[in-house]
Amino acid sequence: MKLGLLTAAFPTLTLDEIADWAAANGFETLEVACWPAGEGAARRYAGVCHIDVETLDAAKAAEIVGGLERRGLAISALAYYPNPLSPDPEARAAAHEHLRCVIEGAATLGVDTVGTFVGRDRTRNLPDSLADFREAWPPLVAHAAQHGVRIAIENCPMIFSYDEWPGGDNLAYSPAIWREMFTAIPDEHFGLNFDPSHLIWQMIDVERAVHEFGDRIFHVHGKDLEVRPDGLYEHGVMSLGIGWQVPRLCGLGQVDWGRFVGALYAVGYDNVVSIEHEDRRFEGSVELVQRGFIIARNTLRPLLA
C-alpha cells in the first residue's frame, strides 16, 4: 500500500510546492483538489483548486504528470466534494457539470479515480433521498465508465453544523445505504472512498464494513476521529455528532489503525491510504498543517508496505 495526502489542506500552496514537500517527507501519492478555479471556499477545505480541469489539455496534463513522476509521486485520485443532490437546481446542475469535467480531467491525466460525494437534500427522508439518487446518479457513473474512470464516494454524512441539519449533505454514510446504492448501480466504476473516521461516531463496526464492501473500496482516506465524552454528555446522540465528533489526525483519535489496515490487506486492498487533514489543532499556518501530516505519516508508515 502507498501513503498519500489530500492537497486541500494546503489552499495557499501551488501543486508544485505541495509536491516538493510531500516527496521530501516520504509521501508517494497526491489526491489532488479540483474544485472550480476561482470558486472560493463555500465551506472549510472546499473550493481549493490545484488542477484546473476546465482548462486542462493533453500537454498540460503531461507536464503535471511528468513533474510529479520526477519527484517520485503519482496522483491517486482527483478530489471534488460538492453536493450533487442539492435542493437548489442551479447548485445541483453546477456540481454535475464540474464533476463531469473532473472525470474528463482524470482521464486526460491518466488517473483512474475521482473522489466525491453522492450529496443529499438534507430535508428529505431516506427513502425519498434514495429515489433521488437512483434518478440522478446513473448518468454520472455512465459518464465515468465511458472515460475509464472510477467514482469513489466518500462515506461522510456531512453533518458538522446546524446549517447541515437534520439529514446532512451526503447520503452515503452507512452499510445499509451502500447496499442500496450498489444494488441500484452495480457498475464496476462505482465504489467507495472509504474513511473509517465517519464510522467511529456512528458506532458502526469498521472492520466488518471493510470485509463486506472490500470489492467496492477504490480509495481510502486516512483520518481519525475523537468522540468527546463531555460533548456527548451535553448533547446526546440526537445531535448527530454536533458538539462531540472531532476530526483528528491519524493516531490522535479512536481508529485502531493496525486492525483497519489489517482488514484492508485481508480483503485484497493494495492501493493508497490518503491522509485527509481536518484537525483544527494543526491549522493556522502551512507549518502547522505540515506538522499534522507528519504526525499522521508516522502513525501509518509502519503499517504500509
- According to the model, what pLDDT value does residue 38 have? 79
177: exposed, middle or buried (Cβ count in 10 Å: 0-12, 13-18, 19+)? middle
Q: Is the pLDDT of residue 119 over 70?
A: yes
State the Cα–Cα distance between residues 177 and 171, nearest whole angstrom: 8
What is the average per-residue pLDDT within 239-256?
A: 96
Rounded to 5°, the CA angle 204-209-213 comes to 150
Q: When comparing pLDDT for 105 and 44, which is higher? A: 105
- According to the model, what pLDDT value does residue 40 have? 63
Percentage of the chain with pLDDT > 90?
93
What is the average per-residue pLDDT within 157-180?
A: 91
- According to the model, what pLDDT value does residue 48 have? 95
29: exposed, middle or buried (Cβ count in 10 Å: 0-12, 13-18, 19+)? buried
Fold assignment, 2-303: TIM Barrel (3.20.20)
- According to the model, what pLDDT value does residue 43 have? 64
Task: Convert the pLDDT of each residue in 262-283 to its tens digit.
Answer: 999 999 999 999 999 999 999 9
Contact 98, 80 (CB under 8 A): yes
Residue with cell 437534500: 121
Residue 119: phi, psi to the nearest 5? 90, 175
Alpha helices of the chain — where are they, by DSSP H? 15-24, 58-70, 89-109, 126-146, 175-184, 197-200, 206-213, 229-235, 257-266, 286-300
Confidence of residue 254 (pLDDT cuts 50, 70, 90): very high
Contact 211, 263 (CB under 8 A): yes
Task: Convert the pLDDT of each residue in 34-93 to its tens digit.
Answer: 999 977 656 667 889 999 999 999 999 999 999 999 999 999 999 999 999 999 999 999
Q: What is the mean pLDDT of the chain?
A: 96
- According to the model, what pLDDT value does residue 63 have? 98
State the Cα–Cα distance between residues 175 and 119, nearest whole angstrom: 16
- According to the model, what pLDDT value does residue 59 have? 98
Q: 122, 124, 25, 30: which is closest to 77 by C-alpha?
A: 30
Residue with cell 469498521: 206
Among the ranges given (24-33, 40-49, 165-174, 236-245), the one the predictor scored with the smallest mean pLDDT: 40-49
Query: What is the amino acid identity at position 284?
Result: G
- According to the model, what pLDDT value does residue 83 have? 97
The CA-atom distances, in angstroms, between 87 and each of 27, 91, 153, 296 are: 39, 8, 19, 36
Among the ranges given (134-138, 235-239, 291-295), the one the predictor scored with the smallest mean pLDDT: 235-239
Confidence of residue 163 (pLDDT cuts 50, 70, 90): confident
Residue with cell 490522535: 252
- According to the model, what pLDDT value does residue 269 have? 98
Contact 25, 297 (CB under 8 A): yes
- According to the model, what pLDDT value does residue 41 have? 59
Contact 102, 34 (CB under 8 A): yes
Q: 276, 302, 298: which is closest to 289 by C-alpha?
A: 276
